[in-house]
Amino acid sequence: MRGATTPAIRRLPLVRSLDRALGRSPGLPLAATLLGLLAGPALAQDAGKDPGKEPAAPPAKTDAASAPQTYESTITNSKGETIGKIMIRDGANSLVMRLAIQAGGLPPGWHGIHFHAVGDCSDTEKFEKSKAHVNHDQSKHGLLNPDGPDEGDLPNVYANADGSVNAEVSSETPLTGEGGLRDGDGSALIIHANEDDHTSQPIGGAGSRIACAVIK
């Protein structure tokens, strides 16, 4: 009896076509060839990487756009003398203003202060060129008025026995932007002779204007 022989493997036409297209030896399994082709691009990509180098971190975000706007101005009395200064920082929802007045700058006691509509302190005798309060929506005067306050209203400040003041107040009236103090004609901080009762019209009994600072 003749020994058994292994039957020849018949290659289908489709497989032969793949052999020619892939440049594969007929004896090499098709799966191995496909695996090599798929792995090639990935290996080439990995070869271009530095294994000891970490990926670059994204650039850090800065808060420059949200930084408060600032403004400083001198305070002048009715004799035209500089008695101190104001320092304003404008935030997203309110501004903060510091007043620093030297000894002898004001009579001792409480004083009403308000933002007025025009940045002009040139008429030092009465400071009337600063016009009335900043008040775009025509609200009533007074922080304690149920129909107020207007945009120029501020808390009182206290002058020490030597006439000096170091105070900080806040306001929702913006320094810049729509309705801001630094609009086309600017604004002014007016310091009055008396305290503001925050209720009565038109200025809470605050009396005459004795000091002024331009905000422009």
One CATH from 3.30.70.20, 3.40.50.300, 3.40.630.10, 2.60.40.200 for 69-215? 2.60.40.200
Mean pLDDT to the nearest integer, 84-103: 97
pLDDT for residue 178: 87
What percentage of the chain has pLDDT greater than the value 70?
69
pLDDT in tens, 189-208: 999 999 999 999 999 999 99
**CA distances for 32 relative to 19, 37, 42, 64, 193, angstroms:** 12, 9, 16, 58, 97
Reference 185, options 213, 216, 152, 214; nearest CA is 216
**Dihedral Cα 11, 12, 14, 18, nearest 10 deg:** 0
> H or E stretch including 83?
strand 82-90
Residue 69: the pLDDT is 85
Cβ neighbours for 11, distance < 8 A, ≥ 6 positions apart: 19, 26
User: How far apart, in whole angstroms, are the C-alpha atoms of residue 190 and residue 63?
Assistant: 33
**Percent helix, strand and coil across the chain, each to the nearest 5:** 15, 25, 60
What is the predicted pLDDT for the residue at 68? Answer: 73
Residue 59's CB is within 10 A of a number of other CB atoms, namely 6
CA proximity to 193, closest of 201, 184, 203: 203
Tokens describing residue 41 = 């691009």
> 23-81, pLDDT tens digit by residue?
555 555 555 554 455 555 554 555 555 555 566 666 555 555 566 789 999 999 999 99
Contacts of 173 (CB under 8 A, 6+ apart): 95, 115, 134, 151, 152, 179, 180, 181
What does the pLDDT look like over 98-157, one tens digit per residue?
A: 999 999 999 999 999 999 999 999 999 999 999 999 999 999 999 999 999 999 999 999
Contacting residues for 194 by C-beta, under 8 A, at least 6 apart = 110, 111, 112, 205, 206, 207
Q: Can you name the residues that pair with 158 across neighbouring β-strands?
A: 110
Domain ranges of the chain: 13-42, 69-215
